[in-house]
Amino acid sequence: MAGIDYLERIPNNVSLAENRRLRRALEEWQPKFLEWWTDMGPHGYQAKEVYLRTATSVDAQGWAQFGYVKMPEYRWGIFLAEPEPGRAINFGDHKGAPAWQEVPGEYRGVLRRLIVTQGDTEPASVEQQRRLGRTCPSLYDLRNLFQVNVEEGRHLWAMVYLLDAYFGRDGREESEALLERRSGDRDKPRILGAFNERTPDWLSYFMFTYFTDRDGKYQLASLAESGFDPLSRTCRFMLTEEAHHMFVGETGVGRVVQRACELMREHKTDDVRKYGGIDLPTLQKYLNFHFSVSLDLFGSEISTNAANFYTMGLKGRFEETKKNDDHQLKTATYPVAELDGDRIVTREEPALPSLNERLRDDYVEDCARGVARWNQIIQKAGIDVELKLPHRAFRRAIGGFAEVRVSPDGRVLSEAEWDAKKHEWLPTEEDQAYVQSLMHGVTERGRFANWIAPSARGINGQPLDFEYVRLA
């Protein structure tokens, strides 16, 4: 069992006490992180005790210990999955060679960029969500928000460890910069566009944790295949925490869907806004927005960078070892959606530069399964409505479909056609104002806001009226 030493100033399972240089660098970074957390973490709740989960080991039995803690006192630290004895690189030009325990010199810059880009997403989402606490739909949801936040903070620690441990002065400078950028800042924005979007309400938050955190799952899973073993081990443990974030998103949206259906049946109307619910057409608009934003996170359909990352052995495919091919792909092809005049067609392209699209396909398939579960809620209520993922070319800002006007069902449109219909497909100012009008904090134990159904169960076997956050 990989136990975590909580007696250390920085909890870890990487023998930090034996590496004085690294320990000193991280101890210098720690107060800067705490200052950032105070400034940019959950607003108004820093002194409150929250029923949080903390890892005590990285095995299946010990990574979830529950108890009350104030968020600035959360035991952030550095936790890597157990090493795999004799692990080899499973893909690319170095396939079959022993996994690297140190940074291969020829790939130093590329590897650092991958780690920095992943690391930058972690504090960004905390910044995006920092003001949501005051409008929470329940104490249960408030606690889940804070659990996601502290784990994103720990994921930042994971990337900073890699930068400081393996990249010297450059790594330390990048660690500093991770605390200097700000989500949505005009002068120092976060690296990826989705992490500069506002998260102004809880419906947006649930969509974000379903769609955007799911992108995180696929990016982390690809990096977990890396031939650089410390990165692989770091990402493997991060994935255990990421699962909860997606659970929050899927069940959160599902509960909004359920409540809409309850109000539709009770009042025999589709217009549940009259009764304080979020109607299904509005849910569809928010789904369209967040799905399209998250698709851009995978990058361009055809990418030399993706090909290089794979060939170098730095970033694999989702579940690389389960793929039935040669894991080098130099002569393989892959079907890619492309624009041909005013039509969208599928063409076979070389597999290596198409790796972003392959990962996006895995992601879309996964997203569709959750949408199907939301539709089961609607069907069970006897309502003839179906939520749908829009076409992958809808409202894209990156890749071959960037700035191309495409309808949710995949038709290429003129600018005039788009302008005439976009209000039906994306949240309008009126939609946003309505959703915002519902955002009033509900902090009475066991109570939930009118626009969302209660959770099916509590956390860690606790009842729904448990004091998940001590506000007194």
Q: How far is CA 412 from CA 59, 285, 345, in A?
A: 49, 19, 11
Q: Which long-range contacts (CB under 8 A, 24 or more apart) does 65-68 make?
A: 66/459, 66/460, 68/470
pLDDT (0 to 100) of residue 403: 86
Characterize the bridge pairing of strands 49-54 and 469-470.
Answer: antiparallel
Average pLDDT, stretch 192-209?
95
Q: Is pLDDT above 60 for 471?
A: yes
**Tens-place pLDDT, residues 121-134:** 999 999 999 999 99
Characterize the bridge pairing of strands 469-470 and 343-350.
Answer: unpaired
> Confidence class of residue 1 from pLDDT cuts 50, 70 and 90?
very low
pLDDT (0 to 100) of residue 242: 87
pLDDT above 90 coverage of the chain, percent:
92
pLDDT (0 to 100) of residue 243: 87
DSSP states along 362-419 = HHHHHHHHHHHHHHHHHHHTT------PPPTTTT--SSTTTT--B-TTS-B--HHHHH
pLDDT (0 to 100) of residue 63: 59
Residue 72 has φ and ψ, to the nearest 5°, of -65, -15
HEC string for 223-286: HCCCCEHHHHHHHHHHHHHHHHHHHHHHHHHHHHHHHHHHHHHHHCCCCHHHHCCCCHHHHHHH
**Tens-place pLDDT, residues 420-466:** 999 999 999 999 999 999 999 999 999 999 999 999 999 999 999 99
Q: Is pLDDT above 80 for 395?
A: yes
Give the contacts of 373 (CB within 8 A, at least 6 positions apart). Answer: 250, 254
Q: At what angle do helices 20-40 and 139-166 cross, to 10 degrees?
A: 150
pLDDT (0 to 100) of residue 9: 84
* Buried b or exposed e, range 419-431, using 16+ CB within 10 angstroms: eeeeeebbbeeeb
**Tens-place pLDDT, residues 178-198:** 999 999 999 999 999 999 999
Give the contacts of 461 (CB within 8 A, at least 6 positions apart). Answer: none
Q: At what angle do helices 304-312 and 108-128 cross, to 10 degrees?
A: 120
Hey, where are the domains in the chain? 16-470
pTM of the model: 0.96
**Tens-place pLDDT, residues 61-115:** 665 789 999 999 998 989 999 999 999 999 999 999 999 999 999 999 999 999 9
Calculate the average pLDDT of the chain. 95
Average pLDDT, stretch 279-299?
97
Q: Is pLDDT above 80 for 164?
A: yes
Largest separation between any pair of C-alpha atoms in the chain? 68
Q: CA-CA distance, 432 to 439, in Å (whole number)?
A: 11
Least confident interval from 2-6, 217-221, 399-403: 2-6
Asked if residue 237 lies in contact with residue 81, where contact means CB atoms within 8 angstroms, the answer is yes
**Tens-place pLDDT, residues 21-70:** 999 999 999 999 999 999 999 999 999 999 999 877 776 666 578 999 99
Class level of CATH domain 16-470: mainly alpha
Asked if residue 216 lies in contact with residue 121, where contact means CB atoms within 8 angstroms, the answer is yes
Q: CA-CA distance, 160 to 268, in Å (whole number)?
A: 54
pLDDT above 70 coverage of the chain, percent:
98
Q: CA-CA distance, 187 to 2, in Å (whole number)?
A: 42
pLDDT (0 to 100) of residue 284: 98
pLDDT (0 to 100) of residue 8: 77
pLDDT (0 to 100) of residue 65: 85
Give the contacts of 459 (CB within 8 A, at least 6 positions apart). Answer: 51, 66, 140, 143, 144, 466, 468
- In terms of Cβ atoms closer than 10 Å to its own Cβ (0-12, 13-18, 19+), residue 215 is buried
> Confidence class of residue 7 from pLDDT cuts 50, 70 and 90?
low
pLDDT (0 to 100) of residue 274: 97
- Count of CB atoms situated within 10 Å of the CB of 131: 14
Average pLDDT, stretch 156-162?
97
